[in-house]
Amino acid sequence: FTNGFTAPHTSARTFALHSTVAPLPSYEGQKIDNQDPLLIRAIKGLEVERPPVWMMRQAGRHIKEYRDLVKKYPTFRERSEIPEVAVEVSLQPWRNYQTDGCILFSDILTPLPGLGLDFDISENVGPVLKKVDTWDAVNAMHLIDPFATCPFVDTALRALRHETAGTDTAVLGFVGCPYTLATYLVEGGTSKEYLEIKKMMNKDPELLHTMLKNLALSIGEYANYQISAGAQLIQIFDSWAGHLSPFDYDIFAAPYQKMVLDKIKEVNPDVPTVIYIKHSGALLERMAKTGVDVVSMDWTVDMEEGRARLDAARASAGMSRCGVQGNLDPGLLYADHSTIEERTIDIIKKAGRGHVMNLGHGIEATTPEENAKKFVDTVRNYRY
């Protein structure tokens, strides 16, 4: 891995825009307002009248307009890499529910071609990648040049800032953390038990550490690229790190989360960061100690207990209190409206101030849209 060296971008792809989605207007010369929106004010500890709300994986399959668009743009790579389509999909849940965050429609794997690693998303199987499990493959990874390999991310984020200007909405960027990305590279796709990467931890830990470091350098760079394009917050996803023992987590996940967070803070000290890990109940104290601004909890932790544990961990490390995000079970969005309301309000009360309301993981594909709307409306109508 040679610093600053960028190999030819062999895997760049281009996709065509059909007439079903309008081309983006020119935003040249237009100003966007720079006031902090509600979501950012809440995280920064300013006085707000209610918690902000958005839903992980809010853009996508559960929305009918999205499923209609899939017929015209059948691959995930097209939908996320044609800026017009990515912008339209990002705006669908924001328009329908008036969420306080508008997240870019993209994937944690999107930057990988910029490191020399191609991928596909099969509609049935999920992510499919060429395995990276040898020194040759790891040494062939190179530092990302985001402007050269992900120009569509820049265009889409700038467009989202303009589309949401003047509305108190935050445009959200995100990245995958090195460990979770490495699970896809080593396993060649999605996994249930992550046995290939666990074998590598014992057989050739240096190989894995080199891969994780290569990923961390590029992902930090890519996060800052999103911020320069207009992302007002970065959520880092280490979704599968909760499958590690705390012993291995401290060796293979935490140090690389920290590298990404430090890189963001070094360049963009004022941009809030959020960390999400699925099944993170045993890891809350460790997450708090990364110095992240907000810890997103899944639904297996009681919000009040989780909040107290995070506060204690930060205080014992001499750090300021962090914010919390979450943590309604996505399965509760199949309940009747009064249950959705009750359980949502229960979480808001337990979390207190400095809370971003969200689900405990991504919204399920079969969730009825009116139930997602009920969840968002409940939060929008709440007053502290």
Ligand X SMILES: Cc1c2[nH]c(c1CCC(=O)O)Cc1[nH]c(c(CCC(=O)O)c1C)Cc1[nH]c(c(CCC(=O)O)c1C)Cc1[nH]c(c(C)c1CCC(=O)O)C2
Q: Could you give the string, one character per residue 166-195, with x where binding to ligand X holds by CB under 6 A and - elsewhere?
A: --------x-----x---------x-----
Near ligand X by CB under 6 A: residue from 39, 40, 42, 56: 56
Stretch that binds ligand X, among 104-112, 258-266, 281-289, 324-332 (CB under 6 A): 104-112
Whether residue 196 contacts residue 121, with contact meaning beta carbons closer than 8 Å, is answered with no
Q: Which of 251, 121, 114, 133 is nearest to 186 (CA)?
A: 133
Structure tokens, 122: 């099969």
Q: Please report whether residue 61 would count as binding ligand X according to CB under 6 A.
A: yes
Interaction between residue 127 and ligand X (CB under 6 A): yes
Task: Return the structure tokens found at 28.
Answer: 């040249």
Is residue 128 near ligand X by the rule CB under 6 A? no
What phi, psi does 223 have (nearest 5°)? -65, -45
Q: How far is the CB of 267 from ligand X (least distance, A)?
A: 22
Nearer to ligand X, 51 or 362 (CB): 362
Q: Whose Cβ is closer to ligand X: residue 317's or residue 365's? A: 365
Residue 230 in contact with ligand X, rule: CB under 6 A: no
Q: Does 76 bind ligand X (CB under 6 A)?
A: yes
If one asks whether residue 119 binds ligand X (CB under 6 A), the answer comes out as: no
Nearest CA to 207 among 135, 137, 141? 135
Among 17, 32, 48, 121, binds ligand X (CB under 6 A): 121
By CB under 6 A, residue 60 contacts ligand X: yes
Phi, psi of 69, rounded to the nearest 5 degrees: -70, -30
Helices (H), the chain: 38-43, 64-72, 76-81, 83-97, 135-139, 146-149, 151-163, 178-187, 195-203, 205-228, 246-248, 254-267, 284-288, 303-316, 337-351, 369-381
**Using rule CB under 6 A, residue 74 touches ligand X:** no
Count of CA atoms in the C-beta half-sphere (13 A) of 339:
10
Stretch that binds ligand X, among 10-18, 51-59, 150-158, 219-227 (CB under 6 A): 51-59
Q: Which residues of 91-123 are buried (b: 16+ CB within 10 A; e: fewer)?
A: bbbbebbebbbbbbbbbbbbbbbbbbbebebee
Minimum CB separation of residue 74 from ligand X in Å reads 12
Among the residue ranges 14-22, 57-65, 214-222, 347-355, the one whose residues contact ligand X (CB under 6 A): 57-65
Q: Binding residues for ligand X, per CB under 6 A? A: 56-61, 76, 103, 105-108, 121, 126-127, 174, 180, 190, 237, 239, 278, 362, 365
